A and B are shown apart, each in its own frame.
Chain A
Amino acid sequence: ILNVEQSPQSLHVQEGDSTNFTCSFPSSNFYALHWYRWETAKSPEALFVMTLNGDEKKKGRISATLNTKEGYSYLYIKGSQPEDSATYLCASKMDSSYKLIFGSGTRLLVRP
């Protein structure tokens, strides 16, 4: 993998469903993996920053895991609510510079 890739591109779930999506990134020269939540007409909001292989972080019903050896992170949402509807972005640092490379996001729509 030469870039930060997210899947699926979009996801429609019913209120109450649990869901998860994937962020894949180059595993070499890994430094950090970020997850952001971006609601329509607002600005991205940081959810998690993870740096260690095996890291698991949780914020309410949202949690994330990190596998730096194989180059992926999962974001889980338990019991999705309509207010969880947003685009979820991940970003990773891919080389020795300071810049973060963002994936194109997973757009989640939770139907009441």
Chain B
Amino acid sequence: DSGVTQTPKHLITATGQRVTLRCSPRSGDLSVYWYQQSLDQGLQFLIQYYNGEERAKGNILERFSAQQFPDLHSELNLSSLELGDSALYFCASSVGSGSANEQFFGPGTRLTVL
């Protein structure tokens, strides 16, 4: 158990809908990262927050947005969902924001868009 929690574990929804994925980092970690893993693709970095502020952005679609709240939990919002958005979404956390910080991954949320 990494100490990072994600909810829900599974989510099934329809095209065009909007969903919110939630992540609570390990106690003491200030950085939260979101990753997407689609079928036959590696881990794709989406976005990073550090202490409430956006720190880095990857290949995140405009239909997707995220935020980190004062209590450091983070939410990833996915809207106008398409079939291709079906994937495993991981959240990770680390103490600092730099690239030398070990990241601890949550169990993931499996999103299925029908």
Q: Which residue of B lies closest to A51 (CB)?
A: B100
User: Cβ of B105 and Cβ of A98 under 8 Å apart?
Assistant: no
Instruction: Name, among A43, A45, A91, A99, the residue most crowded by chain B CB atoms within 10 Å (CB to CB).
Output: A43
**Distance in angstroms between the alpha carbons of A104 and B98 in the assembled complex:** 22
The answer to the question of B108 belonging to the interface, with a C-beta cut-off of 8 Å to chain A, is yes
Given contacts A45-B2, A98-B55, A98-B56, contact A34 B103 (CB under 8 A): yes
For B, the interface residue count at a CB cutoff of 8 angstroms equals 26
Within the complex, what minimum Cβ distance (angstroms) separates B94 from chain A? 9
Q: Are A43 and B105 in contact (CB under 8 A)?
A: yes
B97: Cβ under 8 A from any A Cβ: yes
Q: Mark A15-32, 1 if CB is under 8 A from B, else 0.
A: 000000000000000011
B102, A93: Cβ atoms closer than 8 Å? no
* Size class of the A contact interface (CB-based, 8 Å): 20 to 34
Beyond A45-B2, A99-B56, is A32–B100 a contact (Cβ under 8 Å)?
yes
Q: Are B43 and A102 in touch, CB under 8 angstroms?
A: yes
Q: Of A89, A98, A103, which one neighbours B48 at CB under 8 angstroms? A: A98
B107 in contact (CB, < 8 A)? yes
Asked if A99 and B48 sit within 8 Å, CB to CB, the answer is yes
Cβ of B64 within 8 Å of any chain A Cβ, yes or no, is: no
Q: Assess whether B58 is interfacial by the CB under 8 Å rule.
A: yes
Q: Kindly identify, within residues 76 to 102 of chain A, every residue whose CB is under 8 Å from any CB belonging to chain B.
A: 89, 91, 93, 97-102
In the complex, what's the smallest C-beta–C-beta distance from B95 to chain A, in angstroms?
A: 12
Contact A43 B2, CB 8 Å, known A97-B56, A99-B56, A104-B42: yes
Cβ of B106 under 8 Å from chain A? yes
Contact residue among A31, A44, A97, A103 (Cβ-Cβ distance under 8 Å from B105): A44
Chain A residues in contact with chain B, CB under 8 A? 31-32, 34, 36, 42-46, 49, 51, 89, 91, 93, 97-105
Q: Which 7 residue pairs across A and B have the least CB separation, nearest first?
A: A93-B99, A98-B56, A43-B105, A32-B100, A104-B42, A102-B43, A99-B56
Known: A44-B92, A46-B103. 8 other contacts (CB 8 A): A34-B103, A42-B107, A43-B105, A43-B107, A45-B2, A49-B102, A98-B55, A104-B42
